[in-house]
Amino acid sequence: MQKQKKIIEMFNQIAPTYDRANRILSFGADVRWRRKACEKVMALYEKQNLKIADIACGTGDMIRSWQESALKTQNTLNIKGIDPSSAMLNIAKEKFPNVEFIEAQAQNLPLESKSVDIISISYGIRNVVQRQKALEEFARVLKKEGILVVLEFIKREKTGFITAFRDFYLKNILPSIGAMISKNKSAYEYLPNSIEGFLSKDEFVLELKNAGFKIFDFKSFSFGVSSMFIAKKNKI
């Protein structure tokens, strides 16, 4: 658990510049990736008062995407944002004063069993040390046939120019830009290392299945830079 504490402290340190760094480092693409995922999931529902838990919510980017998507489909939402970083949550609370935020880790959610329609986690699952336990916790909290949507940077298995460019950007350019913005170069050196240490698509799908989920949609964005997994709870 020492490793998890270090990761949480790292996010506490970069919280003040986190939003600006995300927009610059992704060239704004992360906003589009989140929006597409939320619109895809929201189109599956025609009910009011959808209960959503956004895990590793950070400063609330995914929450904004959920709210904007709900306006288009005329769904009403009850969203909770959950994150272990108090500094991230402080910023999220200022941005979304009407949303309930909870300081907690993904593998130990303070939510009742079968109480949530949708769980989302965007670019956070690779930061969870006890990942399998967290996925099982998501299954516990979701209602029958509830939806899990995961956005993540996964390990690339293909070779070619796009892969080579992405790897060069992550390892050589991103840390320097991140350091200029946040004054914390080690945090942005962690990003490419965490991606390299994460799973391939097939490996992550297997973990989801082992936790009780059935994948029914997968999509890669921006030539495979970002990946979207949508899974349905496959057990009672």
pLDDT tens digits for 29-78?
Answer: 889 999 999 999 998 887 778 999 999 999 999 999 999 998 887 778 89
Give the pLDDT confidence score for residue 159 in this predicted structure: 65
Give the pLDDT confidence score for residue 183 in this predicted structure: 79
Token look-up 């003040």 returns 16
Q: Which of 135, 151, 141, 109 is nearest to 214 (CA)?
A: 135
**Amino acid, single-letter form, for residue 98:** N
Give the pLDDT confidence score for residue 225 in this predicted structure: 79
Give the pLDDT confidence score for residue 1 in this predicted structure: 61
| Contact by Cβ (8 Å): 149, 66 | no
User: Which parts of the chain have pLDDT scores under 50?
Assistant: none
Q: Which of 182, 170, 114, 106 is nearest to 144 (CA)?
A: 114
Give the pLDDT confidence score for residue 59 in this predicted structure: 96
* Global confidence as pTM: 0.92
Give the pLDDT confidence score for residue 222 in this predicted structure: 76
Q: Which of 52, 63, 106 is nearest to 84 (CA)?
A: 106
